[in-house]
Amino acid sequence: MVAYHFPPLAGSSGIQRTLRFVQHLPSLGWQPLVLSADPRAYEKTSADLLADVPKATVVRRAFALDTARHLQLAGRYLGWMARPDRWISWKLDGVRQGLKLIDEFKPDVIWSTYPIATAHVIASALSRRTGIPWIADFRDPMAQDGYPADPLTWQSYQRIEEDAARHARHCVFTTPGAARMYQQRYPAAANRMVVLENGYDEESFSSATLLPGTSSPDSGPRPLLMLHSGIVYPSERDPTQLFMALGRLKKAGVLGADDLRIRFRASVNDGLLQELADAHGAQDFIELCPAIPYREALAEMMAVDALLVMQASNCNAQIPAKIYEYLRAGKPILGLTDPAGDTAGVLRGAGLTDIVRLDSADDIAQMLPALVRDWRQGKVVLPDALAVQQASRLGRSQALAVLLAQVVNASGSATGARETS
C-alpha cells in the first residue's frame, strides 16, 4: 500500500482511509505492507494515531522532502521540483524501498492512493518492473477544469491518470460522480473503474473522549452550537455567503449570538474566516478553535448540537471524508452544498434534508432560523440508523478485500502476502 497519508502525519482526514484498511484487512485474510514517506516530509506530525497501526504491520518509510520547505531558496523554488507535487523527491527511494519490499514479501497486489500524486508514480513504476497488478485509488478526480491552476502541473496530473487508466487493474473512486467522470474520460477503461466510499471507524468512536471546554453547555438558555470540523478551503468550501447570511440575519434582528454559535475547528484558514466575519458583521456568531487529537475531534462531533458541511458546486463529484463521521455522530447536519452533487446525495440517502446551496446567502438566511427553531422545539432530523451502519470502515474494508481477491484471481498469482483462511 503506497500511501503518503499515514501516521504520524497530522492535519488531514485523508489519513483515515489507508489507516483503517490497514487495521481491518488482516481479519479479512490480507496482510498489508505499507510504503510511506519519511516523517520529515510532513508539515505537521502527531503520535495520537500511531497506536492504531497494528503491531504486525510492516511499514517502510522512503526518503522524502517537501520542496516548499526543504528545497526553497529565499522563499522560492523551481517549478519542476514540485511536479506532480511537492513530494516528488519521494519517488526515487520510494521505488527502491518498494522493490526491496516486493523481493522480501512477494505481495500479490500493489495499491496506491492519491491525493499525493507521487504515490501513483511510485506504484506504476513498481508494477511495470515486477508485473504485480496495480490498483490506483484516486479518491477524488485529479486533472479538473481549472485545477491544478498551473498548466504544467495539470499536464503532469493528466499523464498520471492516463497511465493509470491504461495500466492499473482497477481505478478506485470515493464517489459515484468521480467514477462517472473518469468512465466518460477514459471509456476503454470504464469497466475497470469502481466506487469504494470513505467511512467512519466504529472503534475510534467507541474510545472517543472529550476535552473539557469543547462540548456544549449542559444546562440553561444557550445558543445552538454548530460545528464545522476540518479544513475550510477558500474555493471548494468558500464560506463567504454563509457570513453574508449571518450578517443579514443579525442586522434584521432575526438571529443573534444568543441563538446560534458556529465553531470552526482546525480550519487552517482562521485568518480568512475572521476577515470574512468582520467584513459581514458576523463575528459574534463564530468561534475559531485549534486542531485537537482525532478521537477528541470525534467526541466533539457527538457533543455539539449540529454539524456543518460545506462543499461548493465545483466539487460535485467529491464527498468530504468527514461526512461519514458526521453521520456516525448522530447529530443534525446542515449541508451547504449543491443539491445536485454527491455530497447532497449522501445526506439525502441518510434521510437528511437540511440542504441549501453554499453560494446562496438568500437560501442560507432562510434555512438558519428554521434550523434554530426546530432545535429549540426538539424537532431536528437525525441520520437514518441503517445508512449510518452501512458507512462503517469495516464494511469498506470488506469491499476492498473482495476487489483484491478479484485482482488476484484474474492474474492467476494467488501467492505471497495474501493469507489463506
Residues 6+ apart with CB under 8 A from 393: 16, 20, 21, 23, 24, 199, 200, 201, 202
**CA atoms of 407 and 405, how far apart (whole Å):** 5
Model confidence, pTM: 0.83
**CA atoms of 8 and 107, how far apart (whole Å):** 24
Report the share of the chain in percent with pLDDT over 70: 95
**Would you say 319 and 343 are in contact if contact means Cβ atoms under 8 Å apart?**
yes
**CA atoms of 414 and 402, how far apart (whole Å):** 14
Helix ranges restricted to H, 111-199: 118-130, 151-167, 176-185
pLDDT truncated to tens, each residue of the chain (421 aa)? 999 999 999 877 789 999 999 999 999 999 999 999 999 999 999 998 999 999 999 999 999 999 999 998 888 888 889 999 999 999 999 999 999 999 999 999 999 999 999 999 999 999 999 999 999 999 889 999 888 999 999 999 999 999 999 999 999 999 999 999 999 999 999 999 999 999 999 999 988 876 666 667 665 689 999 999 999 999 899 999 999 999 999 999 999 999 999 999 999 999 999 999 999 999 999 999 999 999 999 999 999 999 999 999 999 999 998 999 999 999 999 999 999 999 999 999 999 999 999 999 999 999 999 999 999 999 999 999 999 998 999 999 999 999 999 999 998 744 444 443 3
Residues 6+ apart with CB under 8 A from 253: none
Cell 464560506 sits on residue: 239
Going 403 to 406 to 410 to 414, the CA torsion angle's sign is: positive
**Would you say 292 and 214 are in contact if contact means Cβ atoms under 8 Å apart?**
yes
Residue 132 confidence (pLDDT): 97
**Domain 204-385 carries which CATH code?**
3.40.50.2000
Q: Is 229 left (phi over 0), alpha (psi -120 to 50) or beta?
A: beta
DSSP H or E stretch at residue 397: helix 393-411
Each domain of the chain, given as residue ranges in start order, spans 15-199+392-411, 204-385
**Would you say 40 and 6 are in contact if contact means Cβ atoms under 8 Å apart?**
no
Residues 6+ apart with CB under 8 A from 236: 311, 312, 314, 315, 318
**CA atoms of 76 and 25, how far apart (whole Å):** 42
Residue 288 confidence (pLDDT): 97
Classified by CATH at the fold level, domain 15-199+392-411 comes out as: Rossmann fold (3.40.50)
Asked, colleague to colleague, whether 15-199+392-411 and 204-385 share their fold, the answer is: yes
